[in-house]
Homo-oligomer: A and B are copies of this chain.
Amino acid sequence: MRSEVSEVFSALADDTRRAIYERLLAQPSGLTATQLSKDSSVSRQAIVKHLQLLGGAGLARSLREGRDVLYLATPRGTELASKWLVENGAAWDRRLAALQKRAKDS
């Protein structure tokens, strides 16, 4: 089973999908798949698939509104990605610290 953080990175690895996510971010009231597909080069069905994938990665959620289905950005996904990056950024700091220690000891 693919790890959670893998799902997030994988969701963010596609240009189309990142563009969708950015549009959701810019529109806090949400957007429907049909609206998103209006000025997009790909079909509504393709958009829906992307939205479901974003949902699985904790980057979006859906909300039924009568006949429409609104999609909204959620923060959990990017939190996971940030967490991994911060933790591994810390490795760079440790490397730097080790370097400085060696320099001081010599």
Q: How many copies does the complex hold?
A: 2
Question: Does A101 sit within 8 A of B, measured CB to CB?
Answer: no
In the complex, what residue of chain B is closest to A12 when comparing beta carbons? B9
Interface residues of A in 1-36 (CB under 8 A from B): 2-3, 5-6, 9-10, 12-15, 18, 21-22, 25-26, 28
Residues of B within 8 A of A98 (CB): 28
Interface residues of A in 69-102 (CB under 8 A from B): 75, 78, 81-82, 84-85, 88-89, 91-92, 95, 98
In the complex, what residue of chain B is closest to A3 when comparing beta carbons? B15
- In the bound assembly, the distance between CA atoms of A93 and B98 in angstroms comes to 36
- In the bound assembly, the distance between CA atoms of A53 and B2 in angstroms comes to 19
